[in-house]
């Protein structure tokens, strides 16, 4: 949407979302194998992605602050993922994600060209998206505000107040930005 209507973008807030290859952790190797050979890798991806252990891991990552998490977040997600048809839906979405990765260079070019005010908040314990993905935004937008937090992929579960304060401050500064 930003590429189609850059005039509508006043700023960008990114929370553990990649647009650079270096942001994809080693966990993405299994997903890349699936992209390369969906027929042979489908069952392995389904079994892994929809398992309770993998669902829990997506939420906790390597966080040392497990007490900050409500176990309902992953048990509810697991209940959803084990509903009939969900494994197929999720693996189809994962197959389509390769189009995002293919679009990274175009997104990076847009960021370099437009240099929108950018706030990046990133949980350093994210097992899926590496911290290098957060820092990479500065390659495209040198003035990007990048904050590495004591949190995982779902950083809002662990750093709600901190992220809210960063977003409020960023939005307040946007009021003075002519974009």
The domain made up of 6-172 has a fold known as Rossmann fold (3.40.50)
Name which of 118, 128, 127 is nearest 94 in CA terms: 128
What is d(CA 41, CA 141) in angstroms, rounded to the nearest whole number? 37
What is the per-residue pLDDT for 49? 83
What is the per-residue pLDDT for 177? 55
What is the per-residue pLDDT for 179? 47
High-pLDDT (> 90) share of the chain, %: 74
What is the per-residue pLDDT for 67? 86
Q: pTM score, two decimals?
A: 0.90
What is d(CA 113, CA 115) in angstroms, rounded to the nearest whole number? 6
Give the H or E element holding residue 13.
strand 12-15
Q: Retrieve residue 108's tokens.
A: 């990076």
What residue ranges of the chain have pLDDT lower than 70? 177-179
What is the per-residue pLDDT for 64? 86
Going by C-beta distance under 8 Å and a sequence separation of 6 or more, which residues neighbour residue 6? 110, 114
Q: Where are the domains of the chain?
A: 6-172
């Amino acid at each position: 949407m930003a590429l189609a209507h850059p005039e509508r973008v006043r700023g960008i807030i990114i929370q553990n979302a990649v647009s650079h290859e270096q942001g994809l952790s080693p966990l993405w190797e299994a997903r890349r194998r699936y992209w390369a050979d969906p027929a042979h890798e489908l069952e392995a991806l389904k079994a892994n992605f929809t398992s309770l252990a993998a669902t829990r891991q997506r939420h906790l990552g390597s966080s040392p602050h497990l007490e900050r998490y409500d176990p309902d977040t992953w048990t509810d997600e697991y209940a959803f993922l084990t509903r009939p048809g969900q494994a197929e839906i999720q693996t189809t979405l994962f197959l389509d994600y390769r189009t995002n990765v293919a679009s990274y260079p175009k997104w990076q070019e847009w960021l370099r060209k437009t240099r929108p005010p950018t706030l990046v908040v990133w949980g350093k314990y994210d097992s899926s998206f590496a911290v290098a993905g957060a820092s990479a935004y500065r390659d495209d937008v040198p003035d990007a505000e990048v904050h590495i937090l004591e949190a995982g992929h779902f950083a809002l579960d662990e750093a709600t107040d901190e992220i809210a304060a960063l977003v409020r401050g960023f939005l307040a500064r946007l009021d003075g930005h002519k974009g």
